[in-house]
Chains A and B, each alone.
Chain A
């Protein structure tokens, strides 16, 4: 090991922490949480504004904060946290120092500076263009520059991840193949490279255009390439949070993948096909052929969906196997009933898994069906769907793992553990609410990114059905609840860091069980059946098929188009 690097072994978990990597994980994660707090607050204000009877923000502030919410919650919070995940999955899990920590710090600062620049531009009010910033609508040049700087920082961090993989291989700090979690993180990193490259291809010319050096940016071209970044960045999230599910299954249960081969193949499907789905956003655009739309929106025959459905079985399946091995063998579901529901690391992860699958996954595939998109595009169905993926899925998972990581990294005990127990539930219910109610309103045609549900200032007015207003009110209430849950999370995290009881360095009997010897030894799969998980998976499939065809039925009822 390099002479320069200091490191420690966590007495409680046995995890290896390189000094620099540890600091970077801390700073990235904490900075992410700060932006989550800001973004979440804006989210609540928006949910209250869309509540017809409450309608608290004026129009300009609504669009301004909507732009900031999208940027801060979707991009800044998540990518910062993902940097932490990448460093953890490489340096810590491979027991090697971080490659090029100075570069990693440069990446961190660029991300922070970029995020701040873009935020300032948005808050100044002349860049309320939404985070998608479709031309010919123009933002302040610094708006684009901030995003570019942020992306460059993220790219540097991603390369440090790759460098660390190389270093670990050279120094032989591990034997054989990468751990599955690291392989999942690698998937995320690969997608990140494509994401950021696409972003550069489109945002650099757009910046030049906003400065007046380029006369024209083709809106259709922009939208196509922009989504190669915008959607792929969501696929970074999916890969990252699925990896974290495996991580949590391992640290909470000592679970071992049912089969390395199957789980890795599922990630491989992600690497090959997941990014094609950027076409989800272009299904009702002029000029792109149905062939292009169908091939890309279906991830080449839904092979990435296959990957997700595999993870949907193997993550809970590995937990079931571990639990059965411990003796929770009664019936189909004793393993699940006897899981540590009071531990936010587990409860958050498991609710995230269920909601990502049932609410986010199913609706995403349906909305991404070429023709069905016609009855959903740009309605509130879209934000409803992605709050189930990126909030219930990614954000909740990252919250869950923070309950494990923050005490370990800062050597402090969790502050307000009683609240922490409930926090994941409050947040999950709130988020389930905003997802479902926005989708419900969207089914009734309510537009996304829209300030006035009553069209009061329109020359030709229109009334949404009464039920739509009811769903928007329920969305507002759920938004308050999600806001409460989100704020509790931030308070617990900040409190833990500042005021949590310092842990002694003596190994204590920790709440998060130290990884026991692997649950089953060689030849994993042959040993344990996971009937409970299989039944859950079949219920999932049944729901999926039913809801899928319900939507074809809805589609069949609209005007004929050809």
Chain B
């Protein structure tokens, strides 16, 4: 029994039933398939995170955001007048997280690529694009660069899904994707 020492002194050489051997082999093959799926998706799949990231001073990142906002704001929204920014296709787009908002509102074009930079001014936040359901972690002091191509148009919400204090559940931003 499992609560007693093995009965045979040299259990390593005990015969193994074929059912067990088969199961081990099947499970091993499945394990390897699952392993290969990840590199496979890096080559043939369309949803992979880049390895591109930088150490960045929050203030410096904030300036980058302000530069972009100054150049490409097209209107304002919400009670607090949050700028809606439509940066050029293919450009570096900056989105910052801070207690408790996402700044600014971005307006992107469907089917076009953007280099999205994510960083936080203060605590950790969670970028959760809804209802698409893309979730990325946003750290203070780090710039996470992800190349995104929206595949659908409409109005999207960016929910903060990393707990960031008592206002966490009020931290929702917005993003627009236009057809052309």
Contact = CB atoms under 8 A, between A and B. Distances in A.
A455 B130 CA distance: 13
Contacts of A443: 133
Interface in B121-145: 122-124, 126, 128-137, 139-145
A256 B31 CA distance: 27
B168 A449 contact: yes
Contacts of A277: none
Interface string A508-552: 000000010010011111101111011001000100110010001
A215 interface: no
A63 B166 contact: yes
A445 B20 contact: no
B89 interface: no
Contact of A59 (B126, B139, B140, B166): B166
B60 interface: no
B65 interface: no
A445 B130 CA distance: 7
A378 to B, nearest CB: 4
Contacts of A136: 122-124, 140
Interface residues of A, number: 113
Interface string A376-392: 11110000000000000
B124 A256 contact: no
A9 interface: no
B78 to A, nearest CB: 5
Nearest to B39: A294
B137 A284 contact: yes
Contact of A262 (B24, B78, B128, B150): B24
A443 B105 CA distance: 25
Nearest to A549: B37
Given A447-B126, A525-B15, A530-B19, A256 B48 contact: no
A379 B133 contact: yes
B16 to A, nearest CB: 5
B9 interface: yes
Nearest to A370: B38
A261 B14 contact: yes
Given A130-B163, A261-B11, A524-B14, A465 B169 contact: no
B120 to A, nearest CB: 9
Interface string B7-37: 1110110111101101110111011101101
B2 A181 contact: yes
A378 B135 contact: yes
B39 A378 contact: no
Given A259-B16, A310-B27, A314-B20, A218 B168 contact: no
Given A284-B49, A518-B7, A534-B19, A375 B134 contact: yes
A219 B135 contact: no
Contacts of A534: 19, 22-23
Interface in A268-306: 282, 284-287, 289-290, 294, 298, 301-303, 305-306
Contacts of A60: 166
Contacts of B37: 369, 552
B34 A302 contact: yes
Given A369-B38, A525-B17, A250 B3 contact: yes
A305 B28 CA distance: 9
A523 B14 contact: yes
A465 to B, nearest CB: 7
Interface in A26-42: none
Interface in A430-469: 443-445, 447-452, 455, 457-462, 464-465
Contacts of B164: 137
B162 interface: yes
A258 B19 CA distance: 10
B174 interface: yes
Interface of B: 1-9, 11-12, 14-17, 19-20, 22-24, 26-28, 30-32, 34-35, 37-39, 41-42, 45-51, 53, 77-80, 82, 101, 105, 118, 122-124, 126, 128-137, 139-152, 157, 159-166, 168-174
Given A306-B24, A449-B161, A559-B132, 8 more contacts: A134-B123, A287-B144, A318-B2, A376-B135, A378-B161, A530-B17, A556-B47, A561-B149
20 contacts: A60-B166, A134-B162, A136-B122, A137-B124, A180-B6, A181-B3, A220-B139, A250-B1, A257-B2, A258-B20, A285-B144, A286-B145, A287-B53, A306-B31, A451-B168, A459-B172, A464-B130, A544-B30, A560-B151, A561-B49
Interface of A: 59-60, 63, 93, 128, 130, 134, 136-137, 174-181, 218-220, 223, 246-247, 249-251, 254-264, 282, 284-287, 289-290, 294, 298, 301-303, 305-306, 309-310, 313-314, 317-318, 365, 369-371, 373-379, 443-445, 447-452, 455, 457-462, 464-465, 515, 518, 521-526, 528-531, 533-534, 537, 541, 544-545, 548, 552, 555-556, 558-562
Nearest first, the 8 closest Cβ-Cβ pairs linking A and B are: A286-B144, A302-B31, A286-B53, A462-B157, A447-B161, A260-B11, A246-B2, A452-B169
